[in-house]
Chain A
Amino acid sequence: MSIHPRSTVITGIGIATPSGFGVEDYWSATRIGKNAIGPVSRFDATGYDAKLAGEIADFSAPDHLPGRLIKQTDRMTQLALVATDAAFEDAGVKPGDVDEFDMGVVTASSAGGFEFGQNELKRLWSQGSQYVSAYQSFAWFYAVNSGQISIRNGIRGHSGVVVSDQAGGLDAIAQARRQIRKGSKLICSGGFDASICPWGWVAQQTNGHMSTSDDPDRAYLPFDSAARGYVAGEGGALLILEDAEAARARGARNVYGEIAGYGSTFDPKPGSGRESGLRRAIELALADAGLGPGDIDVVFADAVGVPELDRDEAAAISAVFGPYAVPVTAPKTMTGRLHAGASSVDVVAAVLSMREGLIPPTTNVTLAPEYDIDLVVGYPRTASVRAALVLARGIGGFNSALVVRGTP
């Protein structure tokens, strides 16, 4: 019997972001640094502090999903379901190809079906409880994507949901890898959020970290001296993860990369003066992957755009890798922060970087002199990417780090 743990590989990708729907659209915009941030159009944001967002244009759920599902789902779930269909297609797997108990689903969401919840609360308040949809019983819930994906695709194996804000997209993938190590053959995993609605906006504004700029090219500037917060966006990515042996056995046509390492930590109490947990998360992920700092060819930063948090992140990266020692990028500057969706999108960007040998740029940013990191600004950079580190931090103190590497 082998003592090596099973290896988990990415065999299918479904992605829905402001920069594009589907791998080709997303990557063709991202690789050249095309900005997808613009004025909020989904509601009138003039009275709110934050007026810009990364919105997914031209998504019409009825084009992709049956009427019965539309009535019972939030936009977030609709995006996740359509991305899941795309991921299965990309993986070349049809429900039924794999035993239903050998497949699972683990998703992350930081807000759940917020807009659905908003509409039902409006009815409760203005018309009365008998006007609240029966579907409110689950449509708003954090776990709804795992539930709907499993029902639609006949998945009955180990499943779950994680809620850790932006870190969730990595935490879900890590949990999927644990399930595969325990014997599952295939897990659908990723993060999604979509709450560009008044309730979502006021809830987010309370964190004080949203950019109030109304200039799409100057609003979200992580690691820049002009950093003034983040712009929120919507979307995410759904990955088909498989046990490498099982993928090989079925002749999987796409193997984008291996989930090689993962680490997560929690920050100390604010004001304690102790170092954030991010550096330790990075070290745990590298150790888990069996790689040293010199083996990592690019870091996808969390890049929140809040000066004290940027400082923390740059310090953690420099502490592990050394000053200016590894290229760092944040393509989410083009989409805004997708919360739980962002980090799974960054995992996609990381494997596409490996595939093409090109690091997408951090857009609009001029690196502040105080940060000693090699930020890829302005233009994409060609590079041989064999292993990438993806970082994500969630509001509340979550730090996660994930290593992806190419498969031999």
Chain B
Amino acid sequence: MSQEFTLTDLKRILLEGAGADEGVDLDGDILDTEFENLGYESLALLETGSRIEREYGISLDDDIFADNLTPRSLLVAVNRLLPQSLPA
């Protein structure tokens, strides 16, 4: 079975781990908005990263959020680490 890390997953994890600021609409077009502009500082991203790690059973580099400043970039980076689906 293939597993994919989607924007929906990321939004859920952000909300569970760090909550959301008033005035930030996570349901809007946020793919290319930097996490910092969405109100998530380093500690919130640390929490988010550790939740992704334990939920998907993967290990993220310490600088994952330094290299990936937006949701779009993070989704690509995390999906690259997930086990590839096998042909049916």
Contact = CB atoms under 8 A, between A and B. Distances in A.
Interface in B30-82: 39, 43-44, 46-47, 50, 53-54
Nearest to B40: A68
A141 B39 CA distance: 23
Contacts of B43: 72, 134-135, 137
A39 B44 CA distance: 37
A250 to B, nearest CB: 29
A133 B21 contact: no
Given A133-B47, A134-B50, A71 B21 contact: no
A71 B18 CA distance: 6
Nearest to B45: A134
A67 B53 contact: no
Q: Which of B15, B39, B47 has the most CB of A within 10 A?
A: B47
A69 interface: yes
B18 A72 contact: yes
A72 B20 CA distance: 11
A134 B45 CA distance: 9
B19 A66 contact: yes
Interface string B1-36: 000000000000001011111100000000000000
Interface residues of A, number: 13
A122 to B, nearest CB: 16
Interface in A119-168: 130-131, 133-135, 137
A67 B23 CA distance: 11
Contacts of B19: 66-72
Contact of A130 (B20, B39, B54): B54
Contacts of A67: 15, 19-22
B17 A71 contact: yes
A133 B54 contact: no
A266 B16 CA distance: 45
A135 B47 CA distance: 8
B46 A134 contact: yes
A68 B50 contact: no
Contacts of A68: 18-21, 39, 44
A70 B20 CA distance: 9
A130 B53 contact: yes
B54 A131 contact: yes
Contacts of A69: 19
Contacts of B18: 68, 71-72
Nearest to A136: B47
Interface string A27-44: 000000000000000000
Contact of B17 (A66, A130, A133): A133
Contacts of B47: 133-135
Nearest to A69: B19
B53 to A, nearest CB: 7
Nearest to B17: A71
Nearest to B20: A67
Contacts of A70: 19
Contacts of A131: 54
Contacts of A137: 43
A131 B19 CA distance: 17
A66 B15 CA distance: 12
Contacts of B44: 68, 72, 134
B56 to A, nearest CB: 12
A63 to B, nearest CB: 12
A146 B17 CA distance: 23
Contacts of A72: 18-19, 43-44
A130 B44 CA distance: 15
A19 B47 CA distance: 37
A70 B53 CA distance: 23
B49 to A, nearest CB: 9
A7 B44 CA distance: 42
Contacts of B20: 66-68
B43 to A, nearest CB: 5
Contacts of B39: 68
B15 to A, nearest CB: 8
Interface of B: 15, 17-22, 39, 43-44, 46-47, 50, 53-54
Q: 9 shortest A-B CB distances, which residue pairs?
A: A67-B19, A134-B47, A71-B19, A134-B46, A68-B19, A130-B54, A66-B22, A67-B20, A68-B21
Given A66-B20, A71-B19, A133-B47, 4 more contacts: A68-B18, A71-B18, A133-B17, A134-B50
7 contacts: A67-B21, A69-B19, A70-B19, A71-B17, A133-B17, A134-B46, A135-B43
